[in-house]
Every structure is written in structure tokens, then in C-alpha cells.
Structure 1
Amino acid sequence: MPQISLISLISPLSSPLFLSLYPIAQSSNTSLLLTRSFQVHSTLDIFEARLPTKSADADFGLLYAVDENLALYGWLTNTGVRIVVGVDFGEVEGGQERERGMGVHEGELKPVFKAIQSAYVQLVCNPFHQLEDPNKPITSKRFANEMRRIAETWKPDLV
């Protein structure tokens, strides 16, 4: 069953703000973290190419199919922060072929993107949060926990 395997936020100046892999144990794998960081950063060109045809708070849909198991989807906020969510479709057991059309249907990730954006807005609007440089990585444990909650509770519509 598909599950969220990464959440990333990228600043309007293309600085990585947040990247976490799920299940959380994967975040300690430095090689995998570096690979996923590179893959997320490669989606920036796709955001730029599609930007003239999109409006603010736009769902960019599928940005990059890394392989048959991982796909990266994107969202652009009205402040220029780009949100990338990676969906892992899991291994196909016993050499069976994956069903045709299996993937995330349009709109299934919209609640995820809105929840991530809402958590980000709460973070930057928090008067106790020190935001000296909006291009520095997010270090808030509360924000990281909220991202983990979003990733772990998302279930695709299995219609």
C-alpha cells in the first residue's frame, strides 16, 4: 500500500528548509538521506518549468517518478515555498507485475499538502519561534513531529 516516505520544504531561494524520511529510522541512513535530498532538489527545475501555467497555492502533481516504487509530488505556496512529498508504492511481492494505473490519484495528496502548509504557517507565525533567516533549515521538534504525524496517518483512497 502506498505510504509517504519523505516530506521536504524548499525556500523561495531554493534553500532546503526541511527534509525527513519515513519511517523515521531511514533518516539515520546518511547515504539514503543524501540521495533523497538530491532527488528533491532535482524537482526545482520542474517547478520552474511549470510555474508560468500555475497560480498561487498550486498543486503541481507528479513532479518526478524516481523509479517504480517512489514518486515525488509538489505543491507551491503563495509565498513561494515549495513542498515536495515522496510516495513509496512498496515492493511488488513474488515477481508480480504492478497494477496498471496504480499510483496517487489527483487530489489525494491535497489534504497532505494543506496540512503541511498549515503547520509551516503556524511555525512562522509563532511569536516564540526565532526566525532570523527564512532560508535556514527548520529545527523545531514540534514541526518535525507534526510532519511525522502527517506522513504516518495518510492513507490513499483505495477505490
Structure 2
Amino acid sequence: MGCPKIACIALIGKADNPLHISMFTPYSDSELDFSFLLNSCLDLLEVRQKQTSIDQDLGLLHAVDERFAAYGWQTTTGVKFLIIVDVVGESMSAEMERVKDISVVGLGDSDLKPVFRAIQTAYIQLLQNPFYCPDGQALGAKATISNPGGLQITNQKFVSEIQRIGNLWVPGLASI
């Protein structure tokens, strides 16, 4: 039996600039494939945000094929959180089978709310850090091809927390 798994978590800035992208095993080498998917989600986010109030779960944005689905969340500050889920996932370990009896027919929007809340909490904690400079200019952030504005989040505590969130999630988890 397969268990859905998070393949990618992305934070996108107000100007649709990538702030942070985390890839999860075994998708670590798929950054280019997921960057196209993330870019297509930005168009869908724009349409959805006109139809909904700000600071809420925008739900399923895009079902790419029978394997991947993209979900979105927009904050009041305009920062977007995107999660790409492999809905087929990997086979569950015997230990996970004992801990949780999951019979997944499909993911509901509510399955990812704890992930979005955990990402938002991690992002807020990052912004509350007096040594973090959100505009990157004071620290001389460098522009890259994937991040032309040079505003990528590299704070190790934040990156580790995003990795923990993505690796810990399973459908039906009430909080992270």
C-alpha cells in the first residue's frame, strides 16, 4: 500500500520570487521539473485569490497527473506556500502501518492544513529573528539564476524545520 508523500515545499514572495524551495527524497533531482509546476501554480493562485479571501488555504491548485498534485496557501502579506504531493507515494513501512491505518482514496484539502500552519509558524519565527534580514540587502544576498532577486532564505534553522515538516507529514496527521 502506498502512502502519499510531500515531494516539494516552496515559499514564494509577493513579487512571485522564490524565497525557499525544499525537495524531498526521492525527488531531490527533480528541481527543474518542479520549478515548471510551481510556476504554473502561480497563475492558478492569482485566479484563486480573486475568488477567496486572503490568508487562507486555497486548496488543490493543480492535479498534474495521476501522481502529483499541487496545493496552495496565501498569507495576508502576499507570501505564498506551495506543496507538491506525490499522491501515490512510497510503500509504507511495517512500523508506520501499525501506528496508522491509512486507506487513502484521495487527499482532502484538510489533510494539508497542519502542514501549511506549521510552515507559517516556521516562517513567522524566521521573521521574528532579529538577525534575519528579509530583504537580503544588508547581508549582500547574491542573485542566482533560480532566484534573480537574491532573496533566498538560507537560515539553517528554518530550512531544517521545513525539512522536518515535509518528512514527518502523513495524511490524517492533526498537527505537526
TM range (shorter): 0.7 to 0.9
C-alpha displacement of 1:91: 6.1
The range that moved more, 82-91 or 145-154, is: 82-91
Q: How has the CA–CA distance of structure 1 residues 14 and 91 changed in structure 2, closer, same or farther, with 3 Å as cutoff?
A: closer
- CA shift digits 1:1-21 (9 cap, x unpaired): 101111001001000011111
Q: How far did residue 92 of structure 1 move?
A: 9.1
| Aligned residue identity for 1:3 | K
Aligned length: 147
RMSD: 2.1
Percent identity at matched positions?
A: 42
Specify every segment of 5 or more residues in structure 2 that has no aligned partner in the other structure, as ranges: 92-103, 138-148
CA distance in 2, matches of 1:76, 1:35: 23
Report what 1:151 is aligned to: 166
Cα distance change, pair 62–133 in 1 and its aligned pair in 2 (3 A): same
Q: Does residue 1:125 correspond to 2:128, yes or no?
A: yes
User: What CA distance in whole angstroms lies between the structure 1 residues aligned with 2:135 and 2:58?
Assistant: 29
TM-score, normalization by structure 2:
0.77
Unaligned runs of 5+ in 1: 94-100
| Ranges of 4+ aligned residues in structure 1 off by more than 3 Å | 132-135
TM-score normalised by the chain length of structure 1: 0.84
CA separation in 2, counterparts of 1:155 and 1:12?
29
Maintained 8 Å contact 1:112/1:150? yes
Task: Give the aligned partner of residue 115 of structure 1.
Answer: 118
Which protein is richer in helix relative to its size? 1
